[in-house]
Amino acid sequence: MNETLTPETPEVLFSAEQIQRRVRQLGAEIGKEYADRQLCVVGLMKNCLVFMADLIRAIPVPLTCYMVRTTQGGKGGSEIVYSAEEPYEGKDILLLDDVLDTGVTLSYLVDHINEHRPKSLKVCALIDRVQDRKVDLQPDWVVFSLREPLDRFLVGYGLDYAELYRGLPYIGVLPRPAPPTEGGRLDISLENEK
């Protein structure tokens, strides 16, 4: 039986105005870094779609855009399941991530792109969850850093929970669902509490 989720309103963590101000600032910084060069922007699907759309409009240099998608492999590693047929060799690459937490997937992508000998490779993350890092990977640019642990879901501005909330203009937080019940099913009800 398919249950329909009734979305609750997330608590605002970063407003639409805060996001847009920071994205414009980063676009200008990145534009200075790549002045007189063409940039190849590669976004991690699908959570960074909104971020990528706003950021590329704020970077004042010629650029191309591509998407890549990964999944967890059978032994806990990552694997690429979708990638535009973009040759990275000799190009200035800006890799976009939505939420940089453990860094495992992003590290895999950085290694994969570096194998193709780009001219340069830099990373920009929408949110850096510094406390969750498991590998030594530091982004070159970050919109927002979260230095304290956050035991809630980040949603909005392209980020989802159960494919909901991507269209919100702000980044909000939702409480995590209750742990699995005795029967092993996870309670993912998102009904408003009134």
Q: Is pLDDT above 60 for 77?
A: no
Give the pLDDT mean for 1-22.
Answer: 81
pLDDT tens string 90-149: 999 999 999 999 888 889 889 989 999 999 999 999 999 988 889 999 999 999 999 887
The C-alpha atoms of residue 29 and residue 26 are separated, in whole angstroms, by 5
Q: What's the CATH fold of domain 17-149?
A: Rossmann fold (3.40.50)
Percentage of the chain exceeding pLDDT 70: 79
Active-site residue list: 101
Q: Is the pLDDT of residue 178 over 90?
A: no
Over range 43-61, report the average pLDDT: 94
In eight-state DSSP terms, residue 9 is: P
| pLDDT of amino acid 124 | 98
The Cα-based distances of 146 to 24, 29, 101, 155 in angstroms read: 20, 21, 10, 14
